[in-house]
Amino acid sequence: MLTIDSLSKSYGKKQILNNISLSIEKGEIIGLVGENGAGKSTLIQLLATIDKPTSGSIILGESNYARHKKEIRKQIGFVPQELALWEEFTVKENMLFFEKLSWIRKSTGELKQLCLDMSLDKWDEPVHTLSGGMKRKLNLAISLIHDPPLLLLDEPTVGIDLKSRKEIGNYLQLQAKEHGKIVIYISHDMDEITSLCDRVVCIGEDPFYEEILAKTGTELIVF
């Protein structure tokens, strides 16, 4: 379980996040929406221990972020918006490279299976020859090497084809429902958000999101 309590973040006099409180259960997929600059990425960065809140606390399981930063990081799978890959490496070499740096050891077979689970079958192809969708899948696969219980995804499907988007969505649902992972997901694609997420958190009041989500019946939490 992830508990966010009275979380605020400001840069100087500019308040970005104000008093956010939220509890997320295992197996839940949470969508993060809001206008550009509303604070979605800031919230993801706080949850990813990349930045520190001005006030408030975050607790993952039994561990408090302020006291167990190292332990928390082992439990986070962070998928950055940009592709964090070695373009000149093959898919296999990328997976092996990050497996060596990972907290846990995995065999080449296990790494290959991880890729296959999300329909990434170009194991020996150099990354620069892959389609955008394949690259996004690899970007996600690398973040999952150490089996993290909390997945933080910053627009993981931006600019890719519908088929790849669907495959990534299905994989994330499988991870949440069958493996009990918590998935927090930033996206501007409302179809994707409504079909994938259990609840949606909107940073900043916006009637646009409220209207769309009211139609689909997805629970909306506004901060």
Partner 1 sequence: MRAILNTRLLLWKRQKGMLLFWMLLPIILTFSIIMLISTTQGNAKIPVGIVLQEQTDYTDRLLKELSNTSSLQVEIMTEEEALHQLEIHKLDSAFIIKEGYTEKILKGSRNRLITGIRSDLSFGYIPVSEAIQAIIQQDTGRIKAAFTVQQLSKEYDSPSIWTMNEIVEKSKEIEKQENLLQTSFSFTRTKASSGENKSSLVNPWGIWAIFSFLSTLLLFDWLIKEKNSSIYKRFTFTKYSFKMYAIQNSIIYLSLFLLFDFISISLFTIFLNQPTSLTFIISLVMLRLTLIMAAFTLALSFKNVYLYYVFSFTLSLIMAITSGSIVPLDRLPEKISVISSLHPLQPFLHNKIGFFWFILLSVIVMFWYGRKGKFDANY
Size of the site for partner 1 (CB under 8 A): 34
Interacting residue with partner 1 among 23, 55, 103, 195 (CB under 8 A): 103
Euclidean distance between CA atoms 155 and 141, whole angstroms: 15
3-state SS, the chain, equals CEEEEEEEEEECCEEEEEEEEEEECCCCEEEEECCCCCCHHHHHHHHCCCCCCCEEEEEECCEECCCCHHHHHHCEEEECCCCCCCCCCEHHHHHHHHHHHCCCCCCHHHHHHHHHHCCCCCCCCEHHHCCHHHHHHHHHHHHCCCCCCEEEEECCCCCCCHHHHHHHHHHHHHHHHHHCCEEEEECCCHHHHHHHCCEEEECCCCHHHHHHHHHHCCEEEEC
Stretch that binds partner 1, among 28-36, 71-79, 106-114, 202-210 (CB under 8 A): 71-79
Interacting residue with partner 1 among 3, 10, 18, 49 (CB under 8 A): 49
Site string for partner 1, 111-150 (x = CB under 8 A): -------------------------------xx--x-x--
Judged by beta carbon, residue 66 or residue 214, the one nearer partner 1 is 66
Residues 177-196 that bind partner 1 (CB under 8 A): none
Q: How far is the CB of 80 from partner 1 (least distance, A)?
A: 5
100 makes contact with partner 1 (CB under 8 A): yes
Interacting residue with partner 1 among 22, 83, 158, 222 (CB under 8 A): 83
Judged by beta carbon, residue 35 or residue 93, the one nearer partner 1 is 93
Residues that bind partner 1 (CB under 8 A): 46, 48-52, 65-67, 69, 73, 76-78, 80, 82-86, 88-89, 93, 96-98, 100-103, 142-143, 146, 148
